[in-house]
Amino acid sequence: MKKPIYLDYAATTPVDERVAERMVDCLTMTGNFANPASRSHLYGWQAEEAVELGRRQVADLVGADPREIVWTSGATESNNLAIKGIAQAGRERGRHLITSAIEHKAVLDSCQQLEREGFEVTYLRPDASGVIQPQQLADALREDTLLVSLMQVNNEIGTINDIAALGQVAREHGVPLHVDAAQSTGKVAIDLRTLPVDLMSFSAHKSYGPKGVGALYVRRSAGLQVQAQIHGGGHERGLRSGTLPTHQIVGMGAAFALAGAEMAAETARISQLRDRLLAGIAELPGVSLNGSAEQRVPHNLNLAFADVDGELLLLALKDLALSTGSACTSAAVEPSYVLRGIGVPDALAHSSLRLSLGRFTQESDIDAAVDILCRVVNQLRR
């Protein structure tokens, strides 16, 4: 059976074979299979050493101290821990949080849960380009604001918020900033030694690592109080209990090390592929780009095809693996809340597709995708 061309890297990436090789070494009796918390024997010491190497590799990619990296099961858990953990620990000082209307569902649902617990949340609306302006944040901050949570790279439209400017506004008001960076690693350079960010969420599976593991950066110098969301053993300095999955952590560390080493060359290569795709579909009338054309990662193209039903288009594109938006909400019939949030009319939102490119995308894939897209769109418009 011929597989479709994979253009859904924003949903997940395959594990790089170099990463998989490192992980396999942590699964059986001959490898680092032990519990890294077992400090009474050699097996545990070796597993702990592997875990700490992974921690350093994650920290190195983002300019953090390894002691600031907390292991989680993924960016969803990291977002929950950061947002609910800060709010619940600080509820005596305030009950107000700020986020945006186009965050990932892991952030929005965490905020909605806090609203049910009596907190108040301000949802900033991005401009038409899909970014939040610093003045919007400044205007929304209050004396009782406990946390600002804003993503760096949007998972649906690929736009990039100016985290340095937003973080400076938050810092001037003495409010910690949490950033969802699940879509950033390997695409955007991050240096937490200079970025005014206090918490940052990471995912392995968006960067050619395994699913089921992620991390939360918690700035040590900020003196943050974060209430644990999972209890039972006090692992990770009491912030996240549970036996650490050595093989997954090793995979995340290896994936982040590769991401750092290859980011510059890979970004240039992906940019060329993106430009090739756009040039190829230029002959199609009524195609528009959702979100900023400049302030975005080259890996993500969210395109609207006027006068074409998006669901029919997706069904007709059986030879392309892509999506109508976030993988967490792609089964929904409603138009994307992200596209609605930046003012895209429902008709165009319904006819929008997200094409995301990655490490294993080749020129031949792009050329074939262009041919398929042009043929199918023209057929559906007849």
For residue 99, the model assigns a pLDDT of 99
**What are the tens digits of pLDDT across the range 122-155?**
999 999 999 999 999 999 999 999 999 999 999 9
Specify whether 242 is located in the same domain as 317. Answer: no
Considering 240, 258, 276, which residue would you say is the last residue of a domain? 258
The CA distance from 220 to 69, in Å, is 10
> Do residues 60 and 202 touch, judged by C-beta distance below 8 A?
no
- Radius of gyration, CA atoms only, the chain: 21
In the chain, alpha helices (H): 17-24, 42-62, 75-89, 105-116, 134-140, 163-172, 246-280, 310-316, 337-341, 346-350, 363-380
Specify whether 321 is located in the same domain as 250. Answer: no
**CATH code assigned at 136:** 3.40.640.10
Res 332 pLDDT > 80: no
Specify whether 112 is located in the same domain as 194. Answer: yes
For residue 309, the model assigns a pLDDT of 84
Res 382 pLDDT > 70: yes
Specify whether 357 is located in the same domain as 246. Answer: no
Q: Which two tokens stand for residue 229?
A: 């969301």
Considering 213, 231, 258, which residue would you say is the last residue of a domain? 258
Specify whether 190 is located in the same domain as 335. Answer: no
**What are the tens digits of pLDDT across the range 239-253?**
999 999 999 999 999
Res 330 pLDDT > 80: no
Specify whether 235 is located in the same domain as 288. Answer: no
Q: For the chain, how many helices (H) and strands (E)?
A: 11, 12
What's the pTM value of the predicted model, to 2 decimals?
Answer: 0.95
Q: Confidence band (pLDDT; 50, 70, 90) for 333?
A: low
Domains in the chain, number? 2
> Do residues 75 and 10 touch, judged by C-beta distance below 8 A?
no
**What are the tens digits of pLDDT across the range 273-284?**
999 999 999 989
Q: Confidence band (pLDDT; 50, 70, 90) for 1?
A: confident
The number of CA neighbours under 13 Å toward the Cβ of 35 is 7
Specify whether 247 is located in the same domain as 274. Answer: no
Specify whether 213 is located in the same domain as 326. Answer: no
**What are the tens digits of pLDDT across the range 191-242?**
999 999 999 999 999 999 999 999 999 999 889 999 999 999 889 988 999 9
- Find the domain containing 308 and state its range: 5-13+263-380
> Do residues 16 and 258 touch, judged by C-beta distance below 8 A?
yes
> Do residues 270 and 299 touch, judged by C-beta distance below 8 A?
yes
Share of the chain above pLDDT 90, in %: 92
Specify whether 243 is located in the same domain as 272. Answer: no
Specify whether 191 is located in the same domain as 172. Answer: yes
Among 245, 378, 235, smallest CA distance to 316 is for 378
Considering 236, 258, 280, which residue would you say is the last residue of a domain? 258
User: What residues are labeled active site?
Assistant: 328
> Do residues 63 and 196 touch, judged by C-beta distance below 8 A?
no
**CATH code assigned at 369:** 3.90.1150.10
Specify whether 99 is located in the same domain as 143. Answer: yes
**What are the tens digits of pLDDT across the range 37-81?**
999 999 999 999 999 999 999 999 999 999 999 999 999 999 999
Among 193, 208, 199, smallest CA distance to 14 is for 208
Specify whether 96 is located in the same domain as 120. Answer: yes
